[in-house]
Amino acid sequence: METLLAVLIVEDSESDAQLIVRLLKKAGYQVAYEQVETAEQTRAALKKQTWDIVISDYNLPQFDGRAALEILKEEQPDIPFIVVSGMIGEESAVAMMKAGAHDYLIKGNLTRLAPAVKRELEQAGIRQERKQAEQALRESEEKYRTLVEQASDGIFITNSEGRYLDVNSAGCALSGYTREEILQLTMQQVTIFSMSAPLQLKELQQGETIISEREMIRKDGSLICVEISAKQLPDGNLQGIVRDITGRKQADDQLRQLSSAVEHSPSAIMITDVDGKIEYVNPKFTAVNGYALEEARGKNPRILKSAQTPPEVYIELWQTILAGKEWRGEFLNRKKNGELYWEFASISAITDSNGNITHFVSVNEDITARKESEEKIKRLNAGLEQLAMTDYLTNLYNRRYFMQRGAEEFKRAKRNNQFVSLLMLDIDEFKKVNDTHGHQAGDMALQQVAAALKFSVRESDILGRMGGEEFAVFLPDTSLHEAFILAQRIQQVMAKTSFEMPGALLTITASIGVSAITDQMSGIDDLIRTADEALYQAKRSGRNCVIKYKKNSNEMFDMSNE
The candidate with the shortest Cα–Cα distance to 536, out of 526, 525, 524, 549, is 549
Contact present, 399 and 471 (Cβ < 8 Å): no
Rama region for 176: left / alpha / beta (φ>0; ψ in -120 to 50; rest): left
Output the CA torsion sign for 369, 374, 375, 376. Answer: positive
Residue 540 to residues 82, 178, 490, 512, 513, Cα–Cα distance (Å): 75, 118, 20, 12, 12
Residue 211 to residues 153, 154, 231, 261, Cα–Cα distance (Å): 14, 14, 9, 31
Output the CA torsion sign for 291, 294, 300, 303. Answer: negative
Give the C-alpha separation, 26 to 19, whole Å.
10
Active-site residue, selected from the candidate residues 469, 533, 555, 562: 469
Residue 466 to residues 386, 423, 424, 440, Cα–Cα distance (Å): 17, 12, 9, 19
Query: If 0-12 CB within 10 Å is exposed, 13-18 middle and 19+ buried, where does residue 14 land?
Result: exposed
Report helix angle 65-75 to 39-48, nearest 10: 30
Residues in the chain: 562
Query: If 0-12 CB within 10 Å is exposed, 13-18 middle and 19+ buried, where does residue 514 land?
Result: buried
The answer for residues whose C-beta is within 8 angstroms of residue 270's C-beta and 6 or more apart is: 278, 280, 281, 282, 285, 296, 301, 361, 362, 364
Give the C-alpha separation, 111 to 105, whole Å.
9
Give the C-alpha separation, 562 to 545, whole Å.
15
Q: Which DSSP letter does residue 2 get?
A: P
Output the CA torsion sign for 515, 517, 519, 525. Answer: positive
Bridge-based pairing state of the strands 63-64 and 53-56: unpaired
Give the C-alpha separation, 223 to 216, whole Å.
6
* 142 a catalytic residue: no
Catalytic residues: 469
